[in-house]
Amino acid sequence: MYGEISDIWGQCPNLTTLIFAGNNLTGSIPSEIANATNLQELDFSSNHLVGVVPKDLGRLASMVNLKLNGNELLGSIPSEFGAFTELEYLDMSTNNLNGSIPSTFGELVSLNYLNLSNNNFSQEIPFQLGQLFHLSQLDLSHNSLEGKIPSEMSNMQSLERLNLSHNNLSGLIPATFDGMRGLLYVDVSYNHLQGPIPNNKAFQDAHSFEGNVGLCGNVVGLQSCNKHVSKRKNNRKLVFAIVFPILGVVLLAFLAIVFIKTRRKKEPETDKSDIHDEEEVFSISLFDGKKLYSEIIRATDGFNSIYCIGNGGSGSVYKAKLPSGSIVAVKKLHQKLGREETSQKEFHNEISALINIRHRNIVKLCGFCSNSQHSFLVYEYLDKGSLASILSKEDEAKKLDWSRRVRIVKGVAHALSYMHHDCVPPIVHRDISSSNILLDYDYEPCVSDFGTAKLLNPDSSNWSSLAGTYGYVAPELAYTMKVTEKCDVYSFGVLALEVIMGKRLGDLISSFSSPSACENKLLKDVLDQRLPPPTPEVEDELTTIASVAIACRHSQPQSRPTMHMVSQLLSLQNATSTGGPGITLEQLIKI
C-alpha cells in the first residue's frame, strides 16, 4: 500500500481499530484522526511516516494499543499522551524522536509494554515511570539518556524485562533492585555505570554489563568488589588525618547552633509564620514537602476563612494559588493524628498508596503535610466544584444535560472499578456521595475526598468505625461495621439515582424498597424535570443506569454486583432495555 493516510478516517465515530502496518505509507499522521474518539487500537508501524506526532492523539481516551514504531517521526512525544489511562501497549521505537521522555507517562496506569528504543531521547529517565505498577517490559535502549537510574523504578514489581543499554547513564545501579523478584532480564551495557551490581537473578549475565568499566560483582567477566574495597583501605589513614579535624570543627559549630536555638525557644513568640518555616514538617509528597507546606501556609494566609471553599466531616477545603501559578485544593484535617505510633504508620501508608493512584476519574492526591500546627492533604483543583453544588442550583443543573449525566455515572463507575479491582491492595472509598464527586472544566467527574478510605488487606477482617454520608451508607454497616467493596457499590447506586433525578433521594428512596410502593410511579416521573425529555438513545442508557442502581442498592451485600460488572455493563454501547422511561419502577426493580 502506497500514498498518505487520509484525514477522512477521523470522520468515523464508531471506528475502534485502524491498522496500516508494514506498508509504504508516506507523509505525516493527520491530527484529524483524533476525532475518531472510539479508537482503541492504532497501528501505523513499519512505514515511512514523517513529521511530528500530533498532540491531538492524546484525546483518544479509549486507546489500548498504539504502535508507531519503525517510521521516521520527528520531535518530542506530546505530554498529552499522559491522558491514555486505558493504554496497555505503546511502541514508538526506531524513529527520530528527541527531547525528554514525558513525566506524564507515569500516569499511564494500565501500561504493560513500553518501547522507546532507537530514538534520540536525552535528559534523565523520569522517576515517575516507577508508578507503572503493571508494566512488564520496558525498553529505553539506544538513546542519549543521562543521569542516574531512578531508584523509584524498583517499585515496578511487575517488570520482567528491562533494557537501558547504549545510553549515557551514570552512577550506581539502585540497590533497591535487589527486591525486584519478578525481573527476568536486564541489559545496562554501554553506559557509564559503576559500583556493585544488585543481588538479583536477572543480573547474572556478563554481556548485560559490557561497556561499564566501573561495575563490579560476583559475575564472570566483572571485577570483584573486594578489589575496590582494598584500594580504598590504602587511603583510609590519609582520609582520617584530613576528616577528623574537620569533624571537630563541624561538631563545635553544631553545638553552637543548638545552644542558639535553645535560647530562641525560651523567647516569646514574635512571628508565627517564622515558626512554621523552622518547624519540622512530616510530608508524603510528589514534591518538596517542606517547601510545599510553606507555600500553602502563605497562599491561604494561615488557613484564613476567606480562602475556604467547603467543609466536611473530616476537614475544611481551601483554595490555594502557589507561586508557580498552579492552583491546588487543600483539605485541612480537623483532628490531629493519634499519638500511637501504629495508627500514624497505618495512616501514612494509606496516604502513600493513594498518592500512587492514577486514573482520569479520580482526583489526583499530590501529597500530605503535617506538623504540630496543621495536617492537610493536597489535591489537584477542579474548576466546576462538586456535583452536589451544581445539582442544587437551577441554572447550573440545566447545564448538566442527559449525555453529561450519563458520562458522570459511567466515570464514577470506572473509578470505583479501578479502586476495587486494579489497586493492590484494593481501596474502598467509604464515602461516595454527590458532595465528593468533583467536575472539571468539561464536566468530567472525579472521585474525591479519601479521608475515610480504607485499604483492604486480604488477611484482615477489615472491621472499622462507621464512616460515610447519611443516606448513602450501606445498611449492613449499622450492625456489622465490616468494610467491603460492596459498601461502595451501595453508595454508587444511591448516587446514580440522584444524578438522573437531580436531587437528593430523601423520602423517595423508600419508594424503591418494595414493588407495591412503586406500582403507580413511572421512571419518567422522577427524572430531573429541569431538563427536556431525553432522546430515544439516551432513554435506553437512563433505563440501564436505573436498573443497575437498584441492583446496587440490594439489601444483601452478596447480591449486589461488583463495580467491575457495573463498569462493563454501563460501557456496553447497545445496552438492553425494557421500554425506556415509560416503564414503572415496579417493572424496573424486576429487571
| pLDDT for 442 beyond 90 | no
**Secondary structure of 468-494 in HEC code, one letter for each residue:** CCCCCCCHHHHCCCECCHHHHHHHHHH
How confident is the model at residue 343, as a pLDDT?
A: 47
What is the CATH superfamily name and number for domain 289-380? Answer: Phosphorylase Kinase; domain 1 (3.30.200.20)
| pLDDT for 20 beyond 80 | yes
Residues 6+ apart with CB under 8 A from 76: 52, 97, 98, 99, 100, 102
Look at residues 130, 116, 48, 108 and name the one whose alpha carbon lies nearest to residue 77: 116
Amino acid at position 234, single letter: N
pLDDT band at residue 431 under the 50/70/90 scheme: confident
Provide the β-strand partners of residue 91. Answer: 67, 115
Amino acid at position 516, single letter: S
> Measured between alpha carbons, how far is 202 from 217 in angstroms, rounded to an integer?
13
DSSP labels, 287-313: S-HHHHHHHHHHHTTTT-GGGEEEE-S
> Measured between alpha carbons, how far is 591 from 326 in angstroms, rounded to an integer?
47
How confident is the model at residue 95, as a pLDDT?
A: 93
Using DSSP's 3-state secondary structure scheme, residue 452 falls into coil
How confident is the model at residue 269, as a pLDDT?
A: 38
Cα angle at 221 between 216 and 222, to 5 degrees?
A: 5
DSSP labels, 483-536: --HHHHHHHHHHHHHHHHHTS--GGGGGGGS-TGGGTT-BHHHHS-TTSPPPPH
447497545: which residue's cell?
574
How confident is the model at residue 490, as a pLDDT?
A: 93
Q: What is the CATH number of domain 2-216?
A: 3.80.10.10
Q: What is the CATH number of domain 385-590?
A: 1.10.510.10
How confident is the model at residue 456, as a pLDDT?
A: 55
pLDDT band at residue 267 under the 50/70/90 scheme: very low
Provide the β-strand partners of residue 187. Answer: 163
Amino acid at position 142, single letter: H
Region of poorest pLDDT, from 127-141, 183-197, 220-234? 220-234
Domain boundaries, the chain: 2-216, 289-380, 385-590
Contact (CB, 8 A) for 437 and 416: no
How confident is the model at residue 287, as a pLDDT?
A: 56
User: Does residue 227 have a known ligand-binding role?
Assistant: no
| Percent of the chain topping pLDDT 70 | 75
How confident is the model at residue 508, as a pLDDT?
A: 58
Torsion of CA 433, 434, 440, 445, to 10 degrees: 60
How confident is the model at residue 335, as a pLDDT?
A: 59
Region of poorest pLDDT, from 332-341, 357-366, 399-408, 541-550? 332-341
How confident is the model at residue 514, as a pLDDT?
A: 55
DSSP labels, 522-574: BHHHHS-TTSPPPPHHHHHHHHHHHHHHHHHT-SSGGGSPPHHHHHHHHH-TT
| pLDDT for 357 beyond 60 | yes
Over residues 478-525, the pLDDT tens digits come to: 666 677 889 899 999 999 999 998 877 654 545 455 555 556 667 777
Q: What is the overall mean pLDDT for the chain?
A: 80
How confident is the model at residue 230, as a pLDDT?
A: 47
Amino acid at position 6, single letter: S
How confident is the model at residue 345, as a pLDDT?
A: 56
Contact (CB, 8 A) for 573 and 498: no
Over residues 153-175, the pLDDT tens digits come to: 988 888 889 999 999 999 999 98
How confident is the model at residue 571, as a pLDDT?
A: 83
List, by residue number, the catalytic residues: 431
